[in-house]
Chains A and B, each alone.
Chain A
Amino acid sequence: MADATIVEVGGRQLRLTNLDKVLYPETGTTKAEVIDYYARIAPAMVPHVAGRPLTFRRWPNGVEQSAFFEKNCPGHAPDWVPRLDGPGDVRSCGLDEQAALAWAGNQAALEIHAPMSRAGALDEPLALVLDLDPGPPADIVTCVEVAVAIRAVLDTVDLVSVPKTSGSKGMQLYVPLNGGADYETTSSFALALGQLLERQRPELVLTDMTRSLRPGKVLIDWSQNSFHKTTIAPYSLRGRARPTVSTPVTWDELEAATSADDLTFEAADVLARVEHHGDLFADVVELEQRLPQRGGG
């Protein structure tokens, strides 16, 4: 029916369709470019998504048309795409190799959302995440102020934190754990951190999502520290007007940023950055840390 190209990648055969379909009309970015991005970013991205039951957000007809979330791995996925047990009855796709990421791109799964834990150990978060979500007119530069303050607190208990942009309006801060953690602890710690910041900077920070006092403030969303929640994966594209990416950044870059544009990276920028910096998010899956706990942990 539709034009199809059969390709080989990493020993897998993959059927690509509608390569010239424009998924981002504002930039004219085609599906071929989306697949190309995911194929090229795979070496940096795979460690952060492998083994995790992922949620896709797909825009089959481009970002100006409707999108839908796909938690269950579709039956037509190639048999070499692993099906992983997610929360409840969910059987999600896993993406653990370049071919799988290219396949996801071909599905117009622009956004890849990942939980903090892997299938088989769903109740063991590998990192703590704080999602910093600005209420306009606050923007990512406002988030940076909050992130720097959070880092200062984490520094006092010798915890390394790693920042990335959300690729949308805000950013996230990850505290690598990689062993021995549970969501009870990470969510409590994240809430405590948020509340501490809320006390320190009441004009800037809030932690309660239900409050409508958002304008100009940054919501510290601690609630993504839960086995049934997902966060936009590092290096995932976003389904926004332009092909922006949730991009790992350095603290120096954050502190030097004076406008949201300084912290907006599109697919091509991110490939160049990875070429130059390597994976700035590597610590998140490699560094073993312990949250302070009663009894020394």
Chain B
Amino acid sequence: MPRAVWNGAISFGLVTIPVKLYNAVSRKSVRFNQLDDRTGARIKYQKVSAETGEEVPADHIVRGWEFAKGQYVLVDDDELQAMAPSGGKAITIEAFVPLDQIDPVLWDSAHYAAPDPGFEKAYALLLKALERSGRVAVSQYVRGGKQYLAALRPNAGKLDVCTMVWADEVVDPAAVDGLDTVAEVEVSDAELAMADQLIEQLIGDFEHDTFRDSYREELVALLQRKAAGEEIVAPAEPVAGGDDKVVDLLAALEASVAAAKAARSVDADEESAAEATAAKPKKKRAARKRTAKKASAKKAAAKRAAARKSA
């Protein structure tokens, strides 16, 4: 069960809803430790003086802020403590804004807010009201001595606290090499049409779980086999198409074709059953072709006879 990372309350006007925050994301990157290959011992870090190379005891380590090259102002814990954002333990709602006004670049991390026992009603009320408004609640809160800007977002029956970076943390794109000239490029309609076609080919819906970190999965699998004692040699270059088996074309299609045909015959059975029990005007497809043929044959014959007469 996930552990709460923060305890506090959502504060909205006179209303206070005590909540706990849980991480919405648990990262799955593969982490390695450094070891001494002669002994297998873990490597640890030591804080040493850049001048003497000797270890510095913890009680002699202080904080300094480099205001110019090689020049520092010293600050101690008491000073920082006095400065620390207070704000108590509240997520203070400041405005309700449309979600699409928040550029995706600004999103930083996400938490689920869960109500403390006894406050489910207030929580549900805020959730429902937010859902109806179609907006998100821009809020601020303090956690671990750091101030956060966040959007309180109704999402699938819960409130998500999605933190954002601050405005002055966003890199100015004008300062990025190569971006300055893009606006001046002219593209022709023909080029655009071709690009449209390329896009059209891959249009689809976003199905998140179809995308996988295959590198990580393979790496973990390899590590687990190794842990189980298997001898691993450098993996061979994967052939085109990965480890899919190559099969004969028509044989490969056979199952799919048979499935499509089976699906059709079930439809046809359902249709004829439907026709037997009730006159359903729309479901005439199976019978249509033959009857239509007879009807139009008569019509065509009549038409031809008429044509001969007039000719």
Residues of A within 8 A of B (CB): 1-2, 4-9, 13-16, 19-20, 22, 26-30, 32-33, 35-36, 39-40, 58, 60-61, 66, 68, 70, 72, 74, 98-99, 102, 141, 258-262
A33 to B102, CA, bound (A): 46
Q: Do the beta carbons of A260 and B194 come within 8 Å of each other?
A: no
Q: Is B297 close to A, CB under 8 A? A: yes
A29 to B198, CA, bound (A): 25
| One of A5, A26, A141 near B252 (C-beta < 8 A) | A5
**Closest chain A CB from B36 CB (angstroms):** 42
Q: Is B82 close to A, CB under 8 A? A: no
Q: Do the beta carbons of A28 and B264 come within 8 Å of each other?
A: yes
Q: Do the beta carbons of A60 and B244 come within 8 Å of each other?
A: no
Which residues of the partner chain A approach B257 to less than 8 Å between Cβ atoms? 30, 32-33, 36
A55 to B178, CA, bound (A): 37
**Closest chain B CB from A147 CB (angstroms):** 15
B221-268, CB < 8 A from A: 240-241, 244-250, 252-253, 256-257, 259-260, 263-264, 267
**Closest chain A CB from B239 CB (angstroms):** 9
Q: Do the beta carbons of A258 and B297 come within 8 Å of each other?
A: yes
Contact residues on B (Cβ < 8 Å of other chain), bracket: 35 or more
Closest to A99 in B: B249
Q: Do the beta carbons of B200 and A68 come within 8 Å of each other?
A: yes
Using known A-B contacts A2-B210, A70-B197, determine if residue A16 contacts B252 with beta carbons closer than 8 Å.
yes
Q: Is B211 close to A, CB under 8 A? A: yes
Residues of B within 8 A of A (CB): 194, 196-198, 200-201, 203, 210-211, 240-241, 244-250, 252-253, 256-257, 259-260, 263-264, 267, 285, 289, 292-293, 296-297, 299-301
A26 to B286, CA, bound (A): 11
Q: Do the beta carbons of B260 and A20 come within 8 Å of each other?
A: yes
A26 to B259, CA, bound (A): 16
Q: Do the beta carbons of A61 and B300 come within 8 Å of each other?
A: no
**Closest chain A CB from B189 CB (angstroms):** 14
Q: Can you list 30 A-B contacts (CB < 8 A)?
A: A2-B210, A5-B244, A5-B247, A5-B252, A6-B240, A6-B246, A6-B247, A7-B253, A13-B241, A15-B240, A19-B256, A20-B260, A26-B285, A28-B264, A32-B257, A32-B260, A33-B256, A33-B257, A39-B250, A39-B253, A60-B201, A61-B203, A68-B197, A68-B200, A98-B249, A258-B296, A259-B299, A260-B296, A261-B289, A262-B293
Closest to B285 in A: A26
Which residues of the partner chain A approach B201 to less than 8 Å between Cβ atoms? 58, 60, 74
A16 to B249, CA, bound (A): 9
Which residues of the partner chain B approach A7 to less than 8 Å between Cβ atoms? 246-249, 252-253
Which residues of the partner chain A approach B246 to less than 8 Å between Cβ atoms? 6-8, 13
Q: Do the beta carbons of A27 and B200 come within 8 Å of each other?
A: no
Q: By DSSP majority rule, is chain B's interface helix, strand, loop, or mixed?
A: helix
Q: Do the beta carbons of A8 and B197 come within 8 Å of each other?
A: no
Using known A-B contacts A66-B200, A261-B289, A261-B293, determine if residue A30 contacts B256 with beta carbons closer than 8 Å.
yes
Which residues of the partner chain B approach A5 to less than 8 Å between Cβ atoms? 244, 247, 252
Which residues of the partner chain A approach B249 to less than 8 Å between Cβ atoms? 7-9, 14, 35, 39, 98-99, 102
Closest to B250 in A: A39
A6 to B252, CA, bound (A): 9
Q: Do the beta carbons of B210 and A1 come within 8 Å of each other?
A: yes
| One of A15, A20, A66, A98 near B241 (C-beta < 8 A) | A15
Using known A-B contacts A4-B244, A7-B248, determine if residue A32 contacts B256 with beta carbons closer than 8 Å.
yes
Closest to B296 in A: A259
A138 to B88, CA, bound (A): 82
In the complex, the 10 A-B pairs of residues with the closest C-beta atoms, listed nearest first: A32-B256, A259-B296, A9-B249, A258-B297, A6-B241, A19-B256, A30-B260, A7-B249, A6-B244, A261-B293
A2 to B240, CA, bound (A): 15
Using known A-B contacts A66-B200, A68-B197, determine if residue A261 contacts B256 with beta carbons closer than 8 Å.
no
A14 to B247, CA, bound (A): 10
Which residues of the partner chain A approach B299 to less than 8 Å between Cβ atoms? 259
